[in-house]
């Protein structure tokens, strides 16, 4: 089976599932991967839909800051 045929089959299956209403598409919270400005440790922050800047405290040093 070629890639084009697999793509068409996947699209057909998706259309059928959406037509049967067995699949629900919803939007959730966004996860932002950010680095601490003080110690450089990686942090993962959840942001509500539509918000780009979120206040958080670093998990390593506790420094309070906002995502960019």
pLDDT at 4: 94
Residue ranges of the chain with per-residue pLDDT less than 70: none
pLDDT at 20: 87
pLDDT at 57: 94
Please give the Cα distance from 10 to 1 (Å, whole number): 12
DSSP characters over 2-22: -HHHHHHHHHHHHHHHHHTT-
Please give the Cα distance from 13 to 18 (Å, whole number): 9
pLDDT at 49: 86
φ and ψ at residue 30, rounded to 5 degrees: -95, 140
Domain boundaries, the chain: 3-66
């Amino acid at each position: 089976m070629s890639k084009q045929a697999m793509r068409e089959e996947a699209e057909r299956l998706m259309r059928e599932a959406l037509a049967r209403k067995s699949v629900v598409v919803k939007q959730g919270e966004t996860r932002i991967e950010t680095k601490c400005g003080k110690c450089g440790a990686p942090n993962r922050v959840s942001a509500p839909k539509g918000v780009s800047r979120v206040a958080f405290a670093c998990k390593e040093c506790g420094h309070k800051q906002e995502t960019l």
